[in-house]
Amino acid sequence: MLLSHRQLCLVLLCTTQFVALLDFSITMIPLPQIQHSLGFTPGGLQWVINAYGVAIAGFLLLGGRAADMFGRRRVFLMGVVLFTAASLLGGFAHSPAMLVATRALQGFGAAMFSPAAFSLLLAVFPEPSQRNRALGAWTAVAASGFVAGLILGGFITDLLGWRWVLWINVPVGLLVLALSPALPLGRPDADTAAAGGTLDVWGALLVASGAATLVFAFANSEHVGLAHPLTFALVALALALLALFVWVEGRVAAPLMPLAVFRRRSTGGANIVSLLANTALGPTFVVVALAMQEVLAFSATRTGLGLLPMAVAFTLASAWAGPALIARCGTKPVIVGGMLLFIGGLALLGVSLAMLATWGVSILPGSVLAGIGYGLAFPAWTVAGIDGVPEADHGLAGGMLTTTQEVGSAVGLAVGVAVSIAVLAGGGTAAQGYSSAILVSACLVAAGLACAIAILPGKVARQEAAA
């Protein structure tokens, strides 16, 4: 049976989100092989992931606004082209600098197409019930992309080598480009905001510089230590750049992040929760992957399969259980309940890693509980983040949510690596270092839970929950 125009649109847009998430997780498994091949230091290795994440975080708002201003389909296609070309070049990397640069270029491409795809999705499915189903498919595909990255990262690395984890994006990107002219994007493409306006490039540079500096502050602690004055100075500089970004946004004619939108309790609260919750998700997968390979001596394939239960729990919870609970209970109760489970899973995993014995005892129980908790909360704060936002700003709202997600993950990974290295420098074992990193992440998620309780409105967003 041929797909309808709407179904084809949904498939292609979800495919790009699948690839964006796949490319974040697919490089987690072959990190030891990449380190050996190109000569990364332990602290520098995180940039294989964080160069991608920081670039997305820094330019997603720019991509969302560009999509609203210049045409969602046009920006979507430009991002796919750039992402595909960067994936091809990254596979030929011969030095750490070249790999990190191409990963950043991939992130910039994803920052262009991801918010454009999100905005197109909302425009193609304007009815609340259909929109909720489309968002459910979106979050499920995003989760499955993350899962597929973990599995494919192991298999591809063992069978073909780590370079193919980048080259696999090329045929997918070419397929999306070949089918994109068939998409019925006339109305969404024409429904652009602020025609003839200008892009807030300085705002994008400030938020990207602030995020990169904050990550670098913790990455550099590998050499100088967490308590070194330089670490504190870099953190202060990063916070100053981000504060300057907020100041600039209140004074430019066409800001990337209109403060009036962010000041909405639902939108602002959802973004704060996303920021703090995601300080644990990426680091948890990376830390557990390293623990399985370096302590339990798992192969890349076994490591990917070992992470599969957590990823599947996340996928099932975000695709089915989360949306069903949102419709029944509203967003805030689901966010609070999900994050409580997430914290409990992280605490169990952190304690178990300190006495790392076997995968089934030390990793499986806590990781599955954490996956369920995060999976329940993720679609709830996504719905809360767009609740009541005008259609013209949907690209912006999607960009804001993904920005906080990527910034949180990048900073959380940098903090986790810094904590692990500090424990090792103090005479601790690798397992103790990994345990400390996870427990610190649990504390950050607890701060996010407190913000969810204090900031998010208690009322149910009836329109969004009525699917």
263 and 137 within one domain: no
> Which residue in 354, 376, 373, 372 sits closest to 363, CA to CA?
354
78 and 125 within one domain: yes
250 and 262 within one domain: no
CA torsion angle 133 135 136 142 (round to 10) = 150
pLDDT of residue 138: 75
Q: Which of 27-31, 129-133, 428-432 comes out lowest in average pLDDT?
A: 129-133
Task: Among 177, 195, 213, identify where a domain stops.
Answer: 195
Q: Read off the pTM.
A: 0.79
Q: Rounded to the nearest 5°, which phi and psi values hold at 195?
A: -55, 135
The span from the CA of 166 to the CA of 180, in Å, is 22
Q: Assess whether pLDDT exceeds 60 at residue 409.
A: yes
367 and 292 within one domain: yes
Confirm whether 389 is domain-assigned. yes
Average pLDDT of the residues of the chain: 83
Annotate 42-75 with b (16+ C-beta within 10 A) or e (fewer).
ebbbbbbbbbbbbbbbbbbbbbbbbbbbbbbbbb
Query: Which CATH number do you get for residue 391?
Result: 1.20.1250.20
Percentage of the chain exceeding pLDDT 70: 90
224 and 112 within one domain: no
pLDDT of residue 80: 93
Confirm whether 466 is domain-assigned. no
Q: Assess whether pLDDT exceeds 70 at residue 320.
A: yes
The span from the CA of 19 to the CA of 30, in Å, is 17
Amino acid at position 456, single letter: L
pLDDT of residue 126: 67
- For the chain, the domain total comes to 3
7 and 99 within one domain: yes
222 and 165 within one domain: no
**pLDDT per position as a tens digit, 274-291:** 999 999 887 788 888 888
pLDDT of residue 395: 60
226 and 166 within one domain: no
The secondary structure of 91-153 as a DSSP string is TT--SHHHHHHHHHHHHHHHHHHHHHHHHHHHHH--SHHHHHHHHHHHHHHHHHHHHHHHHHH
Confirm whether 467 is domain-assigned. no
44 and 121 within one domain: yes
**Residue 240 structural domain:** 197-257
